[in-house]
Amino acid sequence: MIPFSNLDVIALAWYLLTWFGFAYIVDYSPLKKHNISVSMSEHRRRWMRSLSKREFRMIDTGIINGLQNGTAFFASTSLLAIGAGFAMLNATDTAMKVAGDLALPVDTSPELWEIKALLLTAIYVYAFFKFGWAYRLFNYTSILIGAFPYPGEVSEEELEHAIEQAAEMNTLAGHHFTLGLRGFFFSAPVFGWFVHPLLMIAGATLVAFVLARRQFFSRSQVIAKNNL
C-alpha cells in the first residue's frame, strides 16, 4: 500500500491540476493567442520572410546554431538531474537519517521518499526528451534554411510555402524547448514535498502564477506584441 497521507494525496492532485491546468490555458485555450509564445511565433515567421530576401544567410545559420547550443545545454543538464534523481533513490537510508536530525517537521518514510524521488526523476526524463526533440527540430530548421530558394528562382507560391515550412518547424522546436523548461520549473515544488505537502501546494501555485505572469502580463510579452 502506498504510504500517502490525505494531505499528500491533496498536494499531489493540486500539483498535477496546476501543471496541466496551466498547460491547457497557455497551449490550448482561447487565451493562448495572447501569450508571449504565440507572439514570438509571429516574429519567427517574420524572420523567415526576411531570410527569403537575403542573399547571404550566414547570420541565420548562426542564430540557429545558438538556439541549438542553448537546447543542448539544457538537455545535458537534464541528464545530470536524472543521475541525481537515481542517486537520491540509492541514498534513502541516509536521507531518512538526515530527515530525523533536522529541526524541521519532516514526516516521511523510505517508501514515500522513493516515490518522491521517482517523480522528480520522471520529470527530468520528460524534460530531457523535450530538449532532445527540440534540438533535433532546430536541426531540421537549419536544413530547411539551407534548402531555402532565392527570390526569382521559384514562384511566389513556392517561396511562401518554404517560408511557412521553415517558420512552422522553428516554432515547433521552440514549443518543445518551452515544454522542457516548463518541466524544470514545475520540478521545483517537488523538492518542497520532501519537507511537507503544504510546501508542494504553495510551490506549485507560485510557479504557475510566475509563469502565467511571464506569458501574459510581463514586459517581455508587451515588447513581443510590439506595443512599446
Give the per-residue pLDDT at 171: 95
Whether the CB-CB separation of 99 and 106 falls below 8 Å is answered with yes
pTM of the complete model: 0.89
- Strand partners for 151: 154
Q: What is the DSSP letter of 34?
A: G
| DSSP letters for 34-84 | GSHHHHHHHHHHHHHHHHTT-S--HHHHHHHHHHHHHHHHHHHHHHHHHHH
Closest CA to 165 of 180, 143, 182, 185: 143
Average pLDDT over the chain, rounded to an integer: 88
Provide the sign of the torsion angle of the four alpha carbons 8, 11, 17, 23, taken in this order: negative
Whether the CB-CB separation of 158 and 101 falls below 8 Å is answered with no
**Cβ–Cβ contacts within 10 Å for residue 88, how many?**
19
Give the per-residue pLDDT at 104: 57
What is the phi-psi region of residue 152: left when phi exceeds 0, alpha when psi lies from -120 to 50, beta otherwise? left
* Core vs surface per residue 63-75: b (16+ CB within 10 A) or e: bbeebbeebeebb
Give the per-residue pLDDT at 96: 65
Rounded distance, CA 76 to CA 200, Å?
A: 26
Compute the average pLDDT of residues 75-88.
Answer: 92
